[in-house]
Chains A and B, each alone.
Chain A
């Protein structure tokens, strides 16, 4: 089995390929935090690094887990790691980097350089992270819009489009005359068929427009319909599923609105995108707008797969084909539109796009430079941490608790913050899952974390 099998189950081969070819720039002295971040990135399969070595505050070597960080981490990667060591930021080609990480850096020059307008323009996402005693923070700064298609929501809501069926779906649904079917055949039906016919019943027999119903009202009518249709099937799994997913029969206007706002954002922010992935998603969203305009029903593409549902194999295969067919049609049309506009987007990316239309998320670039974002904060803990990092401990109001927090063993806290930084780095590079927005504060003494938007 693959060395990376357990994580491939999180971000797939596509994500892994992006990690393998990425380059991360680490800035800072050798520190526990740096070692922890770096270790996780190497374990995940990354191997190209630039390390801008900052002179450290003389820390006893004994505090580090790895004796010779580059040698020891190389042993954790099947091909070893490639590290370009640098002493300044001068000749770094920022555009070639995937992510920049300042780890326990206390040289303000680096922060100032990365905050300069002319540098900022070319910067990939930048993390600033710092740990002292049992407290620490990390901040993510984005210089351009960031898009995620595969945000992997916990709850996947199936997409059935029963409120606006297309001709093939209507044909499939109308091929069943539920009233003339026996209990045995009814038990084999996929639940969308039951929902579809309940909609027709409510519309035509009861004279009610289902779109005006709340989901609990609809469920009430559905229950009534099922009882009238065949009381013997009430406890069949497919009928139970029909009730459980009854809300899917109703239109979902919030979804449409959300998609519109994502498209709007893609349009207005396109010129800010330099990263290939972000540009491609932006192009896909803009192409989607054209696609939506040309079909009267404003149907956005459906994902390729419908989830499993109680039914016979035969019926499931049939309904699956109907949805797959619709997905293929959308894919083909979108591909044509892309080609008409001379956009070269791989088919695989377009497929991911169609499968994730509802899951697309974006994050706007940071308003201010890193320096300004951080130093303008009114958060007490963050101010103290910045003072410790760049100023002096004398400027902090010390109480007994704070003294203890700063003096206790910080290794687990470095590991914790290191874990968050590395995890966020992986998410950004794979463009999967939703990144932090945008500052994470951690106080291990209270086991407490805070998210700030700076």
Chain B
């Protein structure tokens, strides 16, 4: 396929998307990711091996396809990696692509790319409309959103569909009436942030700092004992789950969502999609049988990002 495609994220979805695009013989694939490889990635990020731990995800993934993949020459696929924060790219960079497929795990870069692609449509007076296909997973569930800037609902139009942040526990419970290990851990972390004058961001505590984790764990045990809370489930994995807000992930769901993203590209490319009639939002749930549901998410005329393109 004579296409230039940008993949956002070289994680669980990114590896799958990259593999599929390689097998679809997409001529030029660019891939952006600023993360490095960790052991807990290896249950699904199959372009990496144990020896790659600590290396750049995007560069290692590109190397796998460009060099180790034995059919590279015959396929004529070229992968160009960027070990870089997506939000640092200038708008000019994005103009070269025919499609952008995202397999990101956070909201900020998604909003960023959505905004940039819509800006391109606006700037060029609908001359250039780069489709954005956005995949996401959580455990056995996932979604695919297809965004044709200025034509179908943009990422921002459907921002209300994001799950509202998990049941937040009031601070007074955490401080005065802790009842569960979660409450204990939240308290220890917030105390730690106060003491060290850090931002209260949980994600900032790096996995590498073993000593820090051990200290936190010790404090959690102490506090749990103080409040007579059962510590049978308390261990490093449990602590890290809350500390890093870990979302469960499995390669099967990644494979399905990535495949659905690539099929969306194929449908648009092969003119097999009716942008007015067909749905632009698909959800998949594999926890009970395998359920897929596609529907049309309408544009919001008052959308702050694409509303002015509404005709």
Q: Do A and B originate from a single complex?
A: yes
Known interface pairs A3-B39, A43-B44, A445-B267; A419-B20 also in contact (CB < 8 Å): no
Q: Would B288 and A6 count as touching, CB distance under 8 A?
A: no
Task: Give Cα A434 to B285, complex, Å.
Answer: 11
Q: Would A404 and B270 count as touching, CB distance under 8 A?
A: yes
Instruction: Count contacts on B: residues with CB < 8 A to the other chain.
Output: 71
Q: Would A1 and B251 count as touching, CB distance under 8 A?
A: no
Known interface pairs A43-B251, A412-B24, A413-B259; A5-B279 also in contact (CB < 8 Å): no
Chain B's closest residue to A36 (CB) is: B255
B278: interface (CB < 8 Å): yes
B308: interface (CB < 8 Å): no
Q: Would B287 and A310 count as touching, CB distance under 8 A?
A: no
Q: Would A408 and B20 count as touching, CB distance under 8 A?
A: no
Residues of B within 8 A of A62 (CB): 71, 74-75
Residues of A within 8 A of B1 (CB): 409
Q: B252 is contacted by which of A63, A134, A423 (Cβ under 8 Å)?
A: A423
Q: Would A152 and B287 count as touching, CB distance under 8 A?
A: yes
Least Cβ distance of B287 to chain A in Å?
A: 5
Known interface pairs A6-B43, A308-B179; A313-B282 also in contact (CB < 8 Å): no
B263: interface (CB < 8 Å): yes
Q: Would B258 and A451 count as touching, CB distance under 8 A?
A: no
Say which one of B28-36, B148-156, B289-297 lies at the interface with A. B289-297
List residues 400-414 of chain A with CB under 8 A from any CB of chain B. 404, 408-409, 411-413
A448: interface (CB < 8 Å): yes
B201: interface (CB < 8 Å): no
B46: interface (CB < 8 Å): yes
Q: Would A411 and B292 count as touching, CB distance under 8 A?
A: no
A87: interface (CB < 8 Å): no
Q: Would B289 and A436 count as touching, CB distance under 8 A?
A: yes
Chain A's closest residue to B279 (CB) is: A447
Q: A415 is contacted by which of B248, B259, B292 (Cβ under 8 Å)?
A: B259
List residues 331-353 of chain A with CB under 8 A from any CB of chain B. none
Known interface pairs A6-B44, A419-B259; A67-B71 also in contact (CB < 8 Å): yes
Q: Would A447 and B207 count as touching, CB distance under 8 A?
A: no
A435: interface (CB < 8 Å): yes
Q: Would A44 and B179 count as touching, CB distance under 8 A?
A: no
Residues of A within 8 A of B237 (CB): 1-2, 5, 8
Residues of A within 8 A of B249 (CB): 6-7
Least Cβ distance of A138 to chain B in Å?
A: 9
Known interface pairs A1-B39, A6-B43; A444-B263 also in contact (CB < 8 Å): yes
Known interface pairs A7-B250, A316-B179, A423-B252; A409-B173 also in contact (CB < 8 Å): no
Task: Give Cα A176 to B256, complex, Å.
Answer: 54
B89: interface (CB < 8 Å): no
Q: Would B253 and A447 count as touching, CB distance under 8 A?
A: no
Task: Give Cα A3 to B53, complex, Å.
Answer: 11
Task: Give Cα A62 to B279, complex, Å.
Answer: 34
A179: interface (CB < 8 Å): no
Q: Would A449 and B266 count as touching, CB distance under 8 A?
A: no
Task: Give Cα A76 to B51, complex, Å.
Answer: 11
Q: Would B180 and A308 count as touching, CB distance under 8 A?
A: yes
Known interface pairs A39-B46, A43-B251, A433-B288; A411-B24 also in contact (CB < 8 Å): yes
Known interface pairs A3-B43, A7-B43, A413-B263; A451-B255 also in contact (CB < 8 Å): no
B127: interface (CB < 8 Å): no
B286: interface (CB < 8 Å): yes
Q: Would A9 and B246 count as touching, CB distance under 8 A?
A: yes
Chain A's closest residue to B286 (CB) is: A423
A-B contact pairs, 18 of them (CB 8 A): A4-B40, A6-B248, A6-B250, A7-B250, A40-B252, A44-B252, A308-B180, A411-B262, A412-B262, A415-B19, A416-B260, A422-B252, A422-B255, A423-B290, A435-B289, A440-B290, A447-B263, A447-B267
What is B's interface to A at a CB cutoff of 8 Å? Answer: 1, 16, 19-20, 22-24, 38-40, 42-44, 46, 49-50, 70-71, 74-75, 139-140, 170, 173, 176-180, 182-183, 207, 227-229, 236-237, 240-241, 246-256, 258-260, 262-264, 266-267, 270, 272, 278-279, 282, 286-292, 294
What is A's interface to B at a CB cutoff of 8 Å? Answer: 1-10, 32, 36, 39-40, 43-45, 61-63, 65, 67, 75-76, 78, 134, 151-152, 154, 188, 237, 308-313, 316-317, 404, 408-409, 411-413, 415-416, 418-420, 422-424, 426, 433-437, 440, 444-449, 451
